[in-house]
Structure 1
Amino acid sequence: MSPSNNRPPLEEYRRKRDFNRTPEPSGSAPATGDIFVVQKHAASHLHYDFRLRLHGALKSWAVPKGPSLDPSQHRLADQTEDHPLEYAEFEGVIPEGNYGAGTVLIWDTGTWEPLDGGKRDYYGGRLRFVLHGNRLRGTWLLIRQDEKKWLLIKEEDEFAATEDALAQETSVVSGRTLEEIAADRDRLWSSERGEEKPEGFGHPLGESFPDYIAPQAATLVDRVPEGGEWLHEIKYDGFRMVCRIDKQGRGIRFFTRKGYDFTDRLHLLARAAARLPVTRAWLDGEIVVFTPEGKTDFHALQNAFRNGNDRGIVYLVFDLMNYEGYDLRSVPLAERKALLADLIPQMDEIRYVDHVVGSGEAFFRAACERKLEGVLSKQVEAEYVSGRSRRWLKVKCAQRQEFVVGGYTESGVGRPFGSLLAGYYDRGGNLVFAGKIKTGYSAGSSEALIKVLRRYEQPDPSFVNPPSGVEYRNPHWLRPELVAEVAFTEISGTGLLRHASFKGLREDKDAREVVLEIPEPTGAEGATPSTASTAARVPPAAAASPPAAPPARLSFGAREPREQPVYPHERIMREEIINHYALVADRMLPHIKDRPLTLITCRTNIYACKFSKHATNFPAPVKAIDAGHEEKYLAVDSKEGLLTLARMGVVEVHAWQSRYSDLEHPDRLLFDLDPPESDGFPWDRVAEAALRLRIHLQGYGLESFLQTTGGKGYYVVVPLAPAAPWKEVTGFARRISAEMQEKFRSRLTAKLAKEERGERIYLDWMRNGRGANAAEPFSLRARPGAPVAVPITWEELVDGVTPGAFHLRGLKERLIHLERDPWEGYFTLRQFLPPLRAR
């Protein structure tokens, strides 16, 4: 591979990033010296980024397992895009919705010098060099395997060692852990100015000023909740929009609920927001266009965007998440709205959304009589939580929701088209046809819409049940990417829309998120009643009944810290996690007793976790065991030890495949069936692969057991008598995976690299190496939904038990109704590693 002289070195880096939304440097600051940096990066997968300054940029490799000081350990290194030189100083949080979102820690830094043929050896695919770092020193090799795959290898010298360098988990710059960086965002980054300290108030109520806040969403229910613990607002017909005000920094920015920057379309609103009496804030609201009758008109809003004229667009603001650097998301809604009411002055472009407390049914009736869209009901004491919540509810006056546009018919009367063909996604990820949208188009909007539709045409339908018949003559099929807002009277018994009317296309919603909205029962959520009814100024046509009382003032006095949910969307607190491990302890302990553990600890929430495997800061009865490393490993052998881990923030429990009593001889084999990450991959193919692996192992005289992972795959576990050493066990596992790949080449692969897997299931044999680990039976997983890894029978697999079938709040019922242990006989079965068959 030769160097490219006509492509800017940072072109790909800049193409992947929006520097208005990510704190990463854009690549303008100079740097001197032959520097290197290793950054620990908790993105979708924890990995280490190894970077060397070479020819004006940082050449970069993602090292999934991190660098090793052991020359026998060859680390896979995936080459990524070049990074700017000042990236070597970047430590912080890349916000959600951005490329590489996650926490970045500077794990090592220093200088490097090339050996042999010098820097030009990089282009020959074999670069030998010396590192002078805080943690990495001595001679190293980078060897290219193919275009993007390299190996990072430590050479034998005085700095080579078998100790685990990655046991050092803190930043060499700040001394912080990943968890501390994620939780304490006290250092901001500007692409233009580098690192800076926030000004103004301190931050006693939470973290510093964030780069993006995903909005809270309401759950559709069948009726308005009653009681004084609920406040009610009008539901408007527009686009949800959050606004970031940072007058001394990046200015005014407007973002949709998916994080798209709409500021360029909202110049007048940005100017209006700049006049608000606040230096820094995060607002939540809806942009709308009012008709002369005082109703909101979605069509008019669409026309404004289409014509590039934002005059007449109004920002209706109903929440305040951050005020002058104070994170208000844990403050009760009533207090947030009281402060917001004082913040919004009398102005045409930005208006405060008023509310009433209690009297929900009367408020709803009044809204529907005025033919408004519906009502939003919110708990007065509710905190602000990004994502959908039952503490915010919505009730609609008429049937209305989004549908995917999967096609259109031709017109028989000279119009640009006849009807749009609507659909939604079912639970299996299939696009289901839901009927025609016949009305709602003016002559002008029809002409504009057909130009959009033609850009998405494709030869075949995406619907799982495409319509046919004379009324669907000459259909034009579309890629299922457009989302339409649709009003309708009802859905018929055959599942088709009746009297559907087009309201406009939505740019703020991903088509894959469109499902059929079925109102849930309102139910009763336990909320603390409000101590003060709050209401204030009402925008034109915004209130259906008079204010209840003067607004309460928000005090910035000292507050008792509130415990935050570990699983924010499910509102699962630490106590529930402790109760889970108390429930499963007797079943879990035989599997984990005296194994070296690797723990995933989430002390604040599942989006700010860290790995722990060394016995630092863990009190008795958690044990410290010697596993041949400088630092001792964690282990437990009692229920109290397990509960101690849970009390200290542990969510996931992983372990080695051997026990402390005989560390060098594993007592089980474990294969992880990892399907492709693409949505909609058929579950039955994963189940089939597990069954085929079982049969293959039986050919060697080995019985196996099955475990769900809480994700998309299964573990197939083979108990062994602890007799064979690690090298033999690892070799056997690798050979089994290779044999399965040969037999089922179109379905299975033993290749680690994701780009080489395609749509095949990865049969991961690498969890059988010394120090490798896997989620233990009954371990929670730090993923949305609070899934649990659970032993199941092979019969249950055939009956359709999926990898993510079990969750924290439903596991107790399963355990109560179990008639026998799914892994009956596991601990009494003595099996020995057989010799491998000749090929």
Structure 2
Amino acid sequence: MATKKVAKKTASTKQAKPTAGDAVDEQLARYRSMRDFSVTAEPSGKQKSTSAASLPFVIQKHAATRLHYDFRLGWNGVLKSWAVAKGPSYVVADKRLAVQVEDHPMEYGGFEGIIPRGQYGGGTVMVWDQGTWEPHVDVNEGLRKGSLKFALNGRKLHGNWTLVRMGGKAAQEAKPNWLLIKEHDEYERTPDDPAITEEMPDSAVTGRSLEQIAEASTHVWNSKETATEGQAWYRQRARDADAASGGTANVTAPSKKTPTFNNASLAKLPKEKLPDFIKPQLAQEATAPPSGDEWLHEIKLDGYRMQARKQGSRVQLFTRSGLDWTHRMKSVAEAIKTLDVQDAILDGEVVVLDEKGISSFANLQASFEKNEKHPVTFFLFDLLHLNGHNTRGLPLKERKRLLHTVLNNENDGLKLSEDIAGDGAKIFRSACELHAEGIISKKADAVYHSGRSTLWLKSKCVLEQEFVIGGWVDLSNGSRGVGSLLLGYYDDAGKLIYAGRTGTGFTQRTHKLLRDKLDAIETKSNPFAAIDAAGRKDAHWVKPQLVAQVRFATWTADNLVRQAAFQGLREDKPAKEVHREMGPPSAKHKSIAPAETKKDVQTLLEPAAETKTTTKSAKVVSIDSKRPKRAAEQQTKTTPSLRLTHPEKVVDPESGVTKRELMDYLWAVSEEMLPHIAGRPLSLVRCPEGSDHQCFYQKHVNHMLPAGVGSVMVADKKGGAPEPYITLDTAEALAGLAQMSVLEIHPWGSRNDNLEHPDRIIIDLDPDESLPWSTVCEAALEVRDVLKSAGVESFVKTTGGKGLHVLFPITPKHDFAFMKTWTHGLVQAMEQARPELYLTKMTKAARTGKIYLDYLRNERGATAVAPYSMRARSGLPVSMPLEWKELTSNTRPRYTVHDFEEWKPRLKKNPWRKVFELKQTLNAAALEHFAPKAKRS
């Protein structure tokens, strides 16, 4: 390739440092590799669909006749392109005009340099942003109809966006006019926030400005050669002024300091290029803190988890999801700049400390949202990269020692999060007594492991107190009950102070009980001394007579409870005696001795002497292949305090189910659903606009997934490079899928630790709608009998549609190819015996009056909807496990998310629990009968 030849010529020595020009060469080569001239014409001709997992996007800042931004989406081998005059905006109200221009060759997406004057697009071109994009709709249909919804995962742009083609006079223009609009999500900004184009004006590849790119003139693109299959660009060595322009790939000005570390372990560590971002390690919640010398404990800080990336004098601060917050924490960035290292990635928590030395989320929130002046401190607790070396393979205690040498103790903005050795239970009690949020316990000898695991455990102190009920809000679906309660407490002057809402913790019984009591004391008068518009919205007022017990995380900057959950009514305390409690949390932990209470927070933040441990090891809630313990044996099943934007958004118009109700449902069924999906690759059906709009499958990991969702590397069927597939194993991760409007969950038939050998096989009975339900039931029973003769016990469930799934667990000794052949033989035998009823081919035209016996669920990569999963259909029906004796009714059963309280008792007698107890194999006769020629493995 021409690019490689150029690269050889430009390298003066093997040790030559990469220049900005080298970085552009690399970019051009990468984008060129994304096209295949043998199958894709550029910009026109036959097209080939591109995998959604690898769709590139690029935004080029282009100083031509006038400055503008070229927004380009890779699709079918070309770059679909729009010229956006003002550039993209994170403000939802900004509808940026985007004029659609001709498709550009894929290779052009990597170009940064000069287009000669007089040629089309003559001027300076910068790669302002780049990354991948994820369509939320059918792309070809969206382009045709003029509505394209998608997510961006770039260096600068993230989250959900929409391109909408304009009508009216705009539709009469020579080139189609569209609008580029930011959608509501966690990445949106307010009009008062800095514009992303002004905040980050320079190249995402080389860090250069337009002026530096123009001065260097390293690369030239000849527009007249764009449509040819040759190379339209060349590198101009005579004017290659990289050094003069100060353009070094991904770096601004290099650090003047050249520190050295006299640490033998650093020299032995593997070398690596400074990563752009490392997915953080997360803690699993524990029912009790662990004990033992192998654990180190840290005070749990209530702030923002942050990853600092230092490259020379350039510093970036990323949230746990990879969002760049450097502009929001400039003082922290400046403090990181002072560290005597060339490059590093540091993990920690940004907090505001109160007068007692406790991290205050309320003050931190006020700093960001109200511009209050509170000193911000970055507590560092891990070191992930240092001066070209990967430190993540070191034990935690070694990484901490290395981190200690990196920190500049003279900088008040940076502090080491010291570890505390000793009895975890004792340290936890001390932390709670001092009103800290809790502790984080970490395995001292463990390497850094991205994602949630039991190597880190969190033990949280609980805040809980009584509140006066001053009103309520109705359920969004119109049912009689309580959507949320309006809470308050009395101050010293006898005024009822508004303290926020609680919208979780209700059961079907408490919905009725509360409404009966609230209806009896409803009044037209607002009982609160003051309440904002958000608090008053849709409120019904009541006389302040009832007292509720509420558990919550903390107080916000507005003096409102955060993540509050209703625990019950208190009849033992008059409403007038309810005041804001500032004392210790009410979590039921054994009190420590008076002498121990004299310790202050500073003592806990410093290393402590090791103490003899006496408590038992912690019991961590985790999911494996075995059924988890019952709710009574587990930690509380109260709906988790997970982040949820727009919780009242309706995800199913027919039933009125909201995102909050979907999260509540997933949490409630997690104990029974998780064993069927944990530790397996998953495909998710996402419906961002609800069940009545277009949905799409997602099986690969991206930055939009909720906390706790992990990945497993899976090679494709053709033996290609492994890709990260979605997997999860916690109730929090499962419930968190509601944030993404996930309406179906489909697991593989094999587990992550043995991907090629299935441990459960499914026969899918898909009947013609004209068939009575009794016929479908008889067919399922016949499948059961055939399987019984093969030596295996089977189980049945509804699909959430019109059919049934018959499943049998099996010892994973045969590969997918064999089991697909075997099940094909089984259904063919049934079809031959009763051709008037059964069909084994997918042809829909031949299905009239028949049942399609689908065996294709048993090939590698195929999935089937999980037990208790909702379906992305009107009404949100549920795939429900059944007892075989239930297949006697003439009426097809229907279970929905909305009706969960009615069928919730079924969870207690789950007929599929035996699935995990059976260790069974097919008998020899069945193996030979249904797959006589198949190769067994």
Task: Tell me the TM-score normalised to structure 1 length.
Answer: 0.43
Task: Tell me the TM-score normalised to structure 2 length.
Answer: 0.39
More helix, by proportion: 2
